[in-house]
Chain A
Amino acid sequence: MKQTIDLTPLQNFLNSKSDINELLVKIESLSEKIFKNGLEPKTVIEQNTGYEEGKAILKTAENSGINLNDVVSLEPFFQELQKTISETPVVHLILAIDPSIETVKSIHEWFINNYGKLVVLDLSIDESLIAGGIVSFGGRANDYSLKSKLEEVQL
């Protein structure tokens, strides 16, 4: 199932569950300023978010074909964006090394290529795994580390 809004521009701001919650609170605050106080959308976004974050939100809207001056179409977009973000799947990975930014990017890409959606990566490190990692999602988990492979060979 594809995500209704492409969250790829927001990828760097969705690295953990707390990131998701923070972004949802921020979008709620932006909606209030734009739709209740009647302020200009672009200015509100630029003034109330960080530079990169603001750019990512604007790019996400642009990718979805939203005209920022059209408040009527902007309101359902914000609602849909909140829904899509809150439904973003969280994948837990325990890795043997602290992954580089490139490795994290390629993991995100792997999920987009294989599942067509952005996921939140909940990463932790356990050096005893030697290489590879433990993958866990929705209450199911399996150990694909080199350590477990060596232990299997020994048995």
Chain B
Amino acid sequence: MIETNTLLSLIAIIILICATIFIYIILKREEKYIHSKDQDKSTYDSVLSDAKDHAKSLLSDTGKAAANLLNDSRKTNEQIEIQTDKILQSIAEKQIHNMKSATSGFEKDYESELQKTKQEMYQTMQKMIQDIQNNYQKSLEEFTSELSSGSAKTQEIIEKKRKELMNQVEKDVEEYRKSQLDKIDSQTSALVKKVYLEVLKKSIPDTLHHELIVKSLEDAKKDEILKL
């Protein structure tokens, strides 16, 4: 019994020792891992710092290069402008020279043509005026000739026309007089009739009206208007 207990105690002690060793080993490893992490972090920081410095240097170099390029470009442009101006000026001078010589030739041709045209127009106008004068003279002579031969006939025609007009006027006056008399006659007749009817209307007594209404009905019956 005692041996069994001793054995169990021994096993427990061994297990305890083993557990302690195991925990120790784990803690050691953890410590080692943390240490290595710290080392890595310092390495990264160093690398990042180097990279930053390098980038700064690159940016500075690039800026300088760009400024140099711009400067060079500006200088090149100025040179191009100067050259272009020179070329344009030379072209313009040549053009002006050509124009001057061409204009001088054209002016001479133009003056000559103008002179020619003026002369032709003058001749044409002279001819037209002459033709008109001739035609006018001819027409005037013809008219004068016709007038002198026809004056006797004209007198006769005028006299005839005068008589015709006189007759027509007399006829119209007579017709107008007649129509006016007829009008007065008919107006007088209508007036007399109107007055007569008005007087008649007022002079009919009610009894006669009554009798004439009944007479109308009797006549209507006789004429078979009232077929009730």
Interface membership of B30, Cβ < 8 A: no
A65 vs chain B, min Cβ distance (A): 25
A107 to B206, CA, bound (A): 14
B55 within 8 A of A: no
Whether A38 is near chain B, meaning CB under 8 Å from some CB there, is no
CB of A7 to closest CB in B, whole Å:
14
Closest to B208 in A: A131
Please choose the segment from B35-43, B124-132, B218-226 that sits at the chain A interface, where 4 or more of its residues have CB less than 8 A away: B218-226
Contact A130 B227 (CB under 8 A): no
Chain A residues proximal to chain B, CB less than 8 Å: 89, 91, 93, 95-97, 99-100, 102-103, 106-107, 110-111, 114-115, 117, 119, 127, 130-138, 140-142, 144-147, 150
Number of A-B contacts (CB under 8 A): 78
Closest to B206 in A: A100
Interface residues on B, range: 20 to 34
Among A103, A115, A132, A135, which residue has its beta carbon within 8 angstroms of that of B225?
A135
Distance between A39 CB and nearest chain B CB, rounded to angstroms: 37
Q: Tell me, yes or no, whether B201 is within 8 Å of chain A by CB.
A: yes
CA distance A140 to B228 in the complex (A): 12
Q: Do the beta carbons of B208 and A144 come within 8 Å of each other?
A: no
A100 CB to nearest B CB, Å: 7
CA distance A86 to B197 in the complex (A): 41
Contacting A at CB under 8 A, from B146-195, are none
Cβ–Cβ contact A107 & B220, under 8 A: no
Among all A-B residue pairs, the 6 with the closest Cβ atoms: A144-B216, A135-B220, A132-B212, A131-B212, A115-B228, A132-B216
Inter-chain contacts of B212 with A (CB < 8 A):
131-133, 146
CA distance A134 to B200 in the complex (A): 19
| With contact pairs A103-B210, A130-B204, A131-B204 given, residues A136 and B225 touching in the complex (Cβ less than 8 Å) | yes
| B209 interfacial contact with A, CB 8 Å | yes
B215 within 8 A of A: yes
B217 within 8 A of A: yes
Interface-central residue, A100, A134, A142, by most chain B CB under 10 Å: A142
- Min CB distance B94 to A, Å, is 113
Determine if B213 is an interface residue (Cβ-Cβ < 8 Å).
yes
Assuming the A-B contacts A135-B217, A135-B220, are A96 and B209 also in contact, with contact meaning beta carbons closer than 8 angstroms in the complex?
yes
CB distance from A2 to the nearest CB of B (A): 11
Residue of A nearest to B198 (CB): A130
> Once the chains are docked, how many angstroms separate the CA of A110 from the CA of B223?
16
Q: Chain A contacts of B213 at CB under 8 A? A: 93, 95, 99, 103, 107, 132-133
Smallest CB separation, B200 vs chain A (Å): 6
Residues of B within 8 A of A137 (CB): 220, 225-228
Minimum CB distance partner of A147 in chain B: B197
List A contacts of B220 (CB < 8 A).
Answer: 135, 137, 142, 144
B214 contacts A by Cβ under 8 Å = yes
Contact with B216, one of A111, A115, A133 (Cβ below 8 angstroms): A133
- Known contacts A119-B228, A137-B228; A142 and B219 CB within 8 A of each other: yes
- The reply to whether B228 and A110 contact each other, CB–CB distance below 8 Å, is no
* B201 touches which of A102, A127, A138 (Cβ 8 Å): A127
Nearest residue (CB) in B for A104 is: B213
Q: Considering the chains assembled together, what is the distance between the CA atoms of A102 and B211 in angstroms?
A: 12
Tell whether, in the assembled complex, residue A135 and residue B200 are in contact, meaning their CB atoms are under 8 Å apart: no
